[in-house]
Amino acid sequence: MPNRSKNQQPTDASDAAQAEADAIRIGKGRATPSRREREAARRRPLVPADRKVAREADRERMRVERQRQQAGLAAGDDRYLPARDKGVQRRYARDYVDARWSVGEFLVPVVVILLLSTFLPFPSPMKESISSYVLFVVWGFFIITVIDCFVMGSLLTRRLREKYGEAERGLRWYASMRTIQMRFMRMPKPQAKRGQYPA
């Protein structure tokens, strides 16, 4: 291969490509990037070049994060629960409520059905008596629900004191509010099956 002087440069594109290939083959097999090249690779613009793509990427990331939070909330994962649902005693109360049959969980559908029945086209005298009976049944069902919640709260408090030494404040109300919700609407989702009371 003919010798070249130090000041002699490649005269065409093929010589330049050959010189670059020779440089790459030396050492670790690739050219070492300069400091300026490394800094440029790390530098990110404050405003992305394609704002539409950036917005879509942000929306997708937020959608995935919301799905993860909703799944964690439904599963009762403490990391995703609001403050009112966190803690071992709150989890115990939820499991206890979900394990039992409660009058309160039928309160809403029964009241809705009874109230809708008052709109049926009955004769006028009969309609008045039906409305009176419906009101009587709704109030009776409500009173039974309150009694059931009171009994459930007392039993739950006794269990919590036996297990943890004392019961947190507000747990009876927390459990009662869960009791009057229909099972499939409860959040966090029930983790205990019917009859599967927590130890």
Q: Are 55 and 92 part of one and the same domain?
A: no
Which tokens go with 147?
């009694």
Task: Taking the CA atoms of 97, 100, 102 and 105 in sequence, report the sign of the dihedral they define.
Answer: positive
Residue 55 belongs to domain spanning: 50-80
Count structural domains, the chain: 2
Residue 110 within any structural domain of the chain: yes
- On whether residue 165 sits in a domain, the answer given is yes
In a domain, 164, yes or no: yes
Tens-digit pLDDT string for the chain (199 aa): 444 444 444 445 566 556 555 555 555 556 777 888 777 767 666 556 677 777 888 888 888 888 887 887 777 777 888 888 999 999 999 999 999 999 999 999 998 988 888 888 877 777 778 888 888 999 999 999 999 999 999 999 999 999 999 989 999 999 999 999 999 999 999 999 999 999 8
Residue 138 lies in a domain: yes
Assess whether 64 and 128 both reside in one domain. Answer: no
